[in-house]
Amino acid sequence: MRIFSGIQPSGDIHIGNYLGAIKQWVALQNKVYPVRGGISNKADCIFCIVDWHAITVPYNQTMLQRKIKEVAAIYLAAGLSPEKNIIFVQSQVKEHAELAWLLNTITPLGDLQRMTQFKEKAAKQANVEAGLFNYPVLMAADILLYQTDIVPVGEDQKQHVELTREIARRFNTRFGKTELSSGEVFSLPKAQTLKIGAKIMSLTAPDKKMSKSDKNPQASITLFDSPEQIKKKISSATTDSGHEIKFQPKEKPGISNLLTIYSLFSDKSIKDLEKAFLGKSYQEFKASLSEILIEKLKPFRNKKAELDKSPESIEKILADGALRAQKIAQATMQKVRTSMGLL
């Protein structure tokens, strides 16, 4: 069983990225899957810092270098082990670009035009470059290079993983089982999302997802916000004019989002939280949520401060990860080139 996922080194990693993606990954690194013959195997987990994706919108190059290392430190601070997982930077394994080009040649234009993320991001920009349009093909290359079975992501990425599956299917049909190839070239991947937490909403506009590229810093809580920042952001989070602490995403999107965050950080069910806060004010609920967040995010801040003291150790982990990733990527590329009739 192979698991692959990644985060773009754009903006500050927020609790949506953590709850929707990274928290799942930390659990998956220890998960054992049954295989044939009654034997169980630990999944191979590969977690990437997808820097080539982050440059598909305007960015600052000095910041990018810092962010790449920061995302690596966040993976480690959140509990991903470099021994149990391959952790690496996308641009350090050139096969991602090679496969992306080849997959471009079999991806219908219409499929890319339908992508929601492209439409949303393009609408925000004066100039839209081809890289943003082709972004899902690079993502398909990331996933297919490693013969991935499962892609743990937030809700917003399901459409891209579906497209990846389509591209893999099309490739296998066109180039698998021919005189040049003995069988399927790619495994078909599947997205894995959580039932609760796959879409954490913005604190200021709870009809939109919390997003790194949101210009309003009050909209998200980052993993390294100070206790004061957390208190301020939660106390000014948008709610409704009512006073009941109830999970009703349509009628009460703000409070429902805060309940989801509370539940995921405290491991208490939403039902239990509704009971515990029956008759309490929004203010009391928000104060309690701030306390939980301050307490649960503290270990991240501490671990990150420790890691910041030894940048060489992170560089070594990334260099080692790139070598291990490249071995797998090279084996896939050999099959891809041969099956496509390249030398």
Can you give the binding site for ligand LTN, defined by CB under 6 A?
Answer: 4-6, 8, 50, 53, 139, 142-143, 151, 153, 157, 160
CA gap 322, 269 in Å, rounded? 40
Task: Choose the binding region for ligand ATP from 59-67, 176-184, 210-218, 260-268 (rule: CB under 6 A).
Answer: 210-218
Candidates 11, 82, 176, 206: give the one binding ligand ATP (CB under 6 A): 11
The listed partner (ligand LTN, ligand ATP, none) that binds 20, CB under 5 to 8 Å by sort, is ligand ATP
Instruction: Return the one option of ligand ATP, ligand LTN, none that residue 204 interacts with (CB less than 5 to 8 A, by type).
Output: none
Residue partners of 146: CB distance under 8 A and separation at least 6:
2, 4, 46, 325, 328, 329, 332
- The number of beta carbons lying within 10 Å of the beta carbon of residue 81 is 13
CB of residue 291 vs ligand ATP: minimum separation in angstroms?
22
**CB nearer ligand ATP, residue 17 or residue 147:** 17
How far apart (Å, rounded) are the C-alpha atoms in residues 238 and 235?
A: 9
Among residues 88, 44, 331, 86, which one has the least CA distance to residue 186? 331
Catalytic residue (choose from 121, 232, 280, 304) = 121
How far apart are the C-alpha atoms of 73 and 78, rounded to whole Å? 8
Q: Which of 211, 238, 263, 326 binds ligand ATP (CB under 6 A)?
A: 211
To the nearest whole angstrom, how small is the minimum distance from the Cβ of residue 226 to ligand ATP? 20
Catalytic: 209? yes
Nearer CB in complex with ligand LTN: 76/191: 191
Q: Of 23, 209, 231, 286, which one is the catalytic site residue?
A: 209
| Residue 198 interacts with ligand ATP (CB under 6 A): yes or no | yes
The Cα–Cα gap between 337 and 218 comes to 48
Number of CB atoms found within 10 A of residue 244's CB: 15
Question: Tell me, what amino acid is at 252?
Answer: K
Closest chain position to ligand ATP (CB): 20
User: Is there binding between residue 10 and ligand ATP (CB under 6 A)?
Assistant: yes
Q: Are strands 40-42 and 32-34 parallel, antiparallel or unpaired?
A: antiparallel
Q: According to CB under 6 A, which one of 68, 74, 137, 210 is a site residue for ligand ATP?
A: 210
Is 212 designated active site? yes
φ, ψ of residue 183 to 5 degrees: the values are -170, -165
Residue 14 or 53: which CB sits closer to ligand LTN? 53
In this chain, which of 213, 226, 235, 236 binds ligand ATP, going by CB under 6 A? 213
Q: Among residue numbers 57 through 116, which ones bind ligand ATP (CB under 6 A)?
A: none
Q: Are strands 44-49 and 2-7 parallel, antiparallel or unpaired?
A: parallel
Q: For residue 326, which phi and psi values (nearest 5 degrees)?
A: -60, -35
Residues with Cβ < 8 Å from 50, sequence gap 6 or more?
Answer: 6, 7, 8, 9, 90, 139, 142
**Strand 190-192 versus strand 150-152 pairing type:** parallel
Nearer to ligand ATP, 219 or 336 (CB): 219
Question: Under a CB-based contact definition with an 8 Å cutoff, are residues 329 and 95 in contact?
Answer: yes
143 contact, one of ligand ATP, ligand LTN, none, CB 5-8 Å limit per kind: ligand LTN
Catalytic residue among 23, 212, 231, 233: 212
Please give the residue ranges that form the binding site for ligand ATP (CB under 6 A): 7-8, 10-11, 16-17, 19-21, 153-154, 156-157, 198-200, 209-213
